[in-house]
Structure 1
Amino acid sequence: MALAMLTRQALRAGSLCSRAAASRPAKVVVGRAPVAQRFLAVVGAAPKGKTPPPPPPQEPDLDDDLGEGDEEDYYDPMEELNTAQRRRVLAMKEVQRLYDGLQREYQAELAQLQSKYNAKYAPLYDERRELFSGKKAVTDKFDLEDDGEPDGPIPDFWLNALANHNKIGPFITERDSEVLKYLEDIRSEVLVGEERGFKLTFHFKADNPHFTNSVLEKVYLLEPEDDVVPKAFTGTVINWKEGRDVTVEEQKRRVKAPKGDKSKPAFVVEKVPCDSLFTIFDPPKVPTEADAANMSEEELEEVEDALSNDFEIGFAIKDQVIPRAVEWFTGEIAPLSPEDYDDEYEEGEY
C-alpha cells in the first residue's frame, strides 16, 4: 500500500492537470521511511498540488517502533519544533481533515456536473465527426475561393490531432500511425458513484485490418478525494490479427549448438515488447511493498515512469485533445518546441 500511494503521488507530480486546485501537504511518515519512499526521494520530484489526506496524527512510540540499532534511521518531521509548536501543527492537521471532508463532497458533486455536461457535449462531438468524415455537407463558403479539389473527408483526423500533442505525439511510432489511420472517434466519460474516475473509448472503422475490436476502452480509477490521483488502470485486451501487433517486434536469436556440432547455425524468432502508444491498454500493475522489496531501483523507476506516462497521456486526451480536437489537428494549439521557438523569435526580434 505504501508503494502504491507514493507512486500515485509521483504520478500527480508529472500530470498535465493545469487547473487551479487546493494544495495539500505530502503525507508525513513518522519513523523509518519505507523502501518506496526512499526510492522516490532519489528518483522522483516532490509531489505538487493536492495529495491524499494525511493519516490521523499519532505521536510515535519510540519504545515500540525503534529497535536496537535503528535510532539513526528514525525521522521525526517535527524534531525542530518545541512542544507548543507541535501542538499547533497537530491542531492544524485537525483543520486539514475538515477541509478534506469538504473536498470529497466537492469532487463528488463535480463528477455529477461533468457527467451532465458530457451529455450536452455529445451532439457537438457527433457533428464534428460528421464533418471530418465527410458525411455532412458544408454549405458555408467561409469567403474561400474554390481550388478545384473535390470535397470529401479529412484524412487521418485523429492521427494528426494526437500526433500534434506535445505529450502524446512522442509515443506514437510509425507502426502506430498505420493503426491510428483507422481511428474514427474518441470519447470520454466521467465515472460517478462508488468508483470515481474517467473512461476513454476509441472507436475504429469496420475495415480496420489490424485487430478485430471495434472499440477499445481505457479506464482510470481515481482516489475519491482527488481528481488527479489515479489508483488503478485497466484497458481492453486487443485482439490483434496475425502479424499486426504493433506492441511487439520479432527478433532472431541464435540457438547455441551442442559442442562439436558444425552444422549450419540455427535461429529462433522471438516476439519481444517494443515502444507503442497501444501499450496503454495493457498497463503495468502498481507493485506492492512486498514486490518492491525484491525489485531494483531501476525496475521501480521503470514502473513509475510507465504509470506516469500512461496517466498523463489519458488525462491529456480527456481534458485537452477531445474538447479541442480541431485545433490539435491543425497544430495551432500545440506549444512551440525549443527549436521552433528559436527560429520564430530570433535574438533581438520581439
Structure 2
Amino acid sequence: MASTAKIAKTDDKNGHSNADDQADKEHQEAIEQIDEVQNEIDRLNEQASEEILRVEQKYNKLRQPHFGKRSDLIAKIPNFWVTAFVNHPQVSALLNEEDEEALQFLQKVEVQEFEDIKSGYTINFTFDKINPYFDNEVISKEFHLNDTGEPSSKSTPINWKSGKDLTQKTATPSKGKKRTHDEQESFFCWFTDHGDAGADELGEVIKDDIWPNPLQYYLASEIDEEVGDGEDDDLDDEDIEDEEDEDEVDEDEEGEEEGEGDEDEEGEEDS
C-alpha cells in the first residue's frame, strides 16, 4: 500500500508541473500577441500623425493670404497691437509703463510656422522706422527643435539707442496693475531669455491665443466699457422706477389725508 501511495504522489507533481508549463506558455503567447497588436496600433498612430501634419500644412498655406489681408487692415488702426497686449491678462502682467510706450511703435506681429509645423515657429515684431528706443525695424524670436530633438530658441539682437535700453532699467509698474514683485522686469527681456525654450509661456500665448484672433483682445476694453455702461443704465432705470413708485405712494398718502380731512369737516357741519 505504501508503494502505491508514493507513485500516486509523483504523478500529482507531474500534473502540476505540466499545468504550470502550459500556463506559462499561454502567458507568453498572450504577451507576444499583445505586442503585435500594439505595433499595429503604433503604426496607425504614426500614419495618422503624418496625415494630420499634411492637413495642417495644407490649411496653414490656405490661411496665409487671409493673415496678410488682416495685417494690412490692422496697420490702419493706431496702437492696435499694444492695445491687444495690454488687454490680454497674461501679457499685460509682463508690461510696465515704459514697455507700453515702446510698444506703441509696434506696427505688425506675425507668426510664421515652419513647413514641418512640429519643428518650430518664428514670431516677428515689426516696428515703426521712426523709433526712439532702438534701430531695429524687425525683431524676431525663433523656437525650434535642434538636431538632438531638444527645444531651443534664438532672437534678433536689439540695437538700443543711447540711454533707451529698457532691459537695463528697473521700471515702475503701471498704475492700477498688480505686480508679484517689487521690481518689474521689462517685456523686452523676453527676447534674450532662452533658458527654457520648451516652456516659453509668452511665445505660446502669442502663437496659440493672440495670433489666431487678436481682434477679440483689441476690443476687450470697449466690450468692458459697454458692459459697464449697460449696468449704469440699468441702475438709472431702477432709480427712476423707484422714484416713480415713491411719488405714487406720496400721492396716495396725500389723497388719503385729504379724504380724511373732508370727512372730519362734514362731521362737524352735521353736528
Q: Give the TM-score taking structure 2 as reference length.
A: 0.57
Q: Which residue of 1 aligns with 2:51?
A: 106
Q: Which residue of 1 aligns with 2:202?
A: 313
The Cα shift of 1:108 comes to 3.3
What is the correspondence of 1:1-350 to structure 2 with a 5 Å cutoff? 90=35, 93-132=38-77, 154=78, 156-193=79-116, 196-221=119-144, 231-249=151-169, 275-286=185-196, 308=199, 310=200, 312-331=201-220
Structure 1 CA distance, aligned partners of 2:111 and 2:144?
13
The Cα shift of 1:202 comes to 0.5
Equivalenced residue count is 187
Structure 1 CA distance, aligned partners of 2:117 and 2:220?
38
Distance 1:97 1:178, change over 3 A: same
Structure 1 CA distance, aligned partners of 2:31 and 2:187?
49
Q: Which residue of 2 aligns with 1:14?
A: none
Q: Which runs of 5+ in 2 are unaligned?
A: 1-26, 171-182, 232-271
Structure 1 CA distance, aligned partners of 2:28 and 2:193?
47
Report SS of the residue matched to 1:186.
Answer: strand
Deviations 1:148-188 (A, max 9, x none): xxxxxx3x221110121122121112221121111011111
Q: Which residue of 2 aligns with 1:347?
A: none
The Cα shift of 1:97 comes to 2.8
Distance 1:97 1:277, change over 3 A: farther
Structure 1 CA distance, aligned partners of 2:30 and 2:89?
46
Sequence identity (%): 22
Distance 1:326 1:175, change over 3 A: same
Contact preservation (8 Å) 1:159, 1:181: yes
Larger relative helix fraction = 2
The Cα shift of 1:212 comes to 0.8
Report SS of the residue matched to 1:320.
Answer: helix
Structure 2 CA distance, aligned partners of 1:181 and 1:244?
15
The Cα shift of 1:328 comes to 0.6
| Highest RCO, 1 vs 2 (Cα 8 Å, sep ≥ 6) | 1
Deviations 1:280-327 (A, max 9, x none): 2112345xxxxxxxxxxxxxxxxxxx863x2x3222222332332222
